[in-house]
Amino acid sequence: MKKAFALLLCAVLSLSMLSACGGSTQNTTEETAETEIRLDACGLAYTIPQSWTTEENVNLIPTSYAQPEDSVYAVIRYDYAPDENMEALNDTSSTVPVDELMAPLVEFLVVRDGQETADSAVAEFNKFNSKQELPKQDGFRFYFLTDPSTGIDHLSKDAQEVYKTLAEDLPTLYKSVETFQPDEASVAEQASKQGELFGFISTDLEGNAIDSSIFADYDLTAVNFFASYSYPDINELKELESYYQTLQAEYPNVNFVQVIIDTPGNEAEAKILAAYEENGVTFTGIMPDKAMASWIVDNLKGLPTTIFIDKDGRIQGDRIEGKQTADQYLEATKEMLDNL
């Protein structure tokens, strides 16, 4: 496969509210690579070693996030993955733990001044054997972390050699680092925007991969939350199926899915699949991932509950709580469409 060197920092999924550190970077190709990185939100600028863009069998996977209210204000980490592991990394159905497919190469850690001994900061420090402090700024301390405490023995012999070659240029990277006052306002703004998004990466009840990209295919998606333990005492499945069929026939720009909050789990999955068969359900049932499960705990007061999500993944309007008829759901959908 082609050597990939992605410098566009991306937000990672987490149970807490995270926002990506904004800055000046660009995607790269095998022929060209932007190596001058400036992350205004995080207060960091540095130059990626040129050799990292030319070495064979190199896939550097960046992760960045900022947490406006946390002791650890920002993390920017580059993980190395060899070509041989990229297929598994890109396969959402792969059961191989991500940590076994790559190894941390370097992490920039931004900690609020005086919070160096906080649990979240210590947890980050403990992931690495080497900790070098960078120039501090008002209210912030910056660290350059290398030599992962988990080692690299889980990588193949060839991959270990490439990793060691990349690590030889870490002193050059360290010397290039510039720190400055982080742009806290932009982080707060990004965190607010991300908090409005409803994102997930999971599987449906049939075991097929599914994620929040499904929202982009429709102007509006109704998402109903239910649980296998509520059935059959609470049962609106036939009404929901009727609603879904009406959407398919009359409102092709609107989709409907159901989230079963007590899945995954063999007993819950078997019970709800049997319920689907009994009630002639043809819509998609989704099992929540950790991020969605956290949202459910924080936001749902009871079951069933239905929300509407637009094509950008943003929750729209008020939630619908309790059982409804197909006509009631359809009327709420029409109102929501009128307000988009």
**What is residue 21's predicted lDDT score, i.e. its pLDDT?**
56
pLDDT above 90 covers a percentage of the chain that reads: 58
End-to-end CA distance of the chain: 43
| Contact present, 110 and 44 (Cβ < 8 Å) | yes
288: cis peptide before it, omega within 30°? no
| Contact present, 200 and 244 (Cβ < 8 Å) | no
DSSP H stretches of helix in the chain = 83-90, 119-125, 157-167, 170-176, 184-195, 237-250, 266-278, 290-299, 326-339
Report angle CA 22, 25, 27 to the nearest 5 degrees.
Answer: 120
**What is residue 15's predicted lDDT score, i.e. its pLDDT?**
23
| Contact present, 1 and 30 (Cβ < 8 Å) | no
**What is residue 299's predicted lDDT score, i.e. its pLDDT?**
85
Distance CA 328, CA 321 (A): 12
**What is residue 329's predicted lDDT score, i.e. its pLDDT?**
97
| Contact present, 21 and 12 (Cβ < 8 Å) | no
For 52, the token pair is 């990292």
**What is residue 92's predicted lDDT score, i.e. its pLDDT?**
54
Side chain identity, residue 129: N
- Predicted confidence (pLDDT) per residue in 288-332, tens digit: 987 788 889 888 888 999 999 999 898 998 899 999 999 999 999
Helices and strands in the chain, H and E counts: 9, 15
**What is residue 275's predicted lDDT score, i.e. its pLDDT?**
97
**What is residue 22's predicted lDDT score, i.e. its pLDDT?**
53
- φ, ψ of residue 328 to 5 degrees: the values are -65, -40
**What is residue 209's predicted lDDT score, i.e. its pLDDT?**
85
Whose CA is closest to 51, among 160, 157, 164, 148?
A: 164
How do the pLDDT tens digits run along the chain, 340 residues long? 223 333 223 322 222 223 345 554 433 333 344 688 888 889 999 999 988 888 787 888 887 777 777 899 999 999 998 989 888 876 656 678 888 899 999 999 999 999 999 999 999 999 999 999 999 999 999 999 999 999 999 999 999 999 999 999 999 999 999 999 999 887 777 666 655 678 888 889 988 888 888 999 999 999 999 999 999 999 999 999 999 999 999 999 999 999 999 998 889 999 999 999 999 999 999 999 877 888 898 888 889 999 999 998 989 988 999 999 999 999 999 999 998 8
**What is residue 221's predicted lDDT score, i.e. its pLDDT?**
97
Q: Which residues pair with 145 in a beta bridge?
A: 107, 131
Say which residues have a Cβ less than 8 Å from residue 60's Cβ, sequence separation at least 6: 4, 5, 6, 7, 52, 78, 79, 80, 105
Q: Which residues pair with 19 in a beta bridge?
A: 66
| Contact present, 179 and 60 (Cβ < 8 Å) | no
Helix, strand, or coil here: 273?
A: helix
Helix, strand, or coil here: 36?
A: strand
- Name the burial class of residue 138, with classes exposed (0-12), middle (13-18) and buried (19+) by CB atoms within 10 angstroms of its CB: exposed
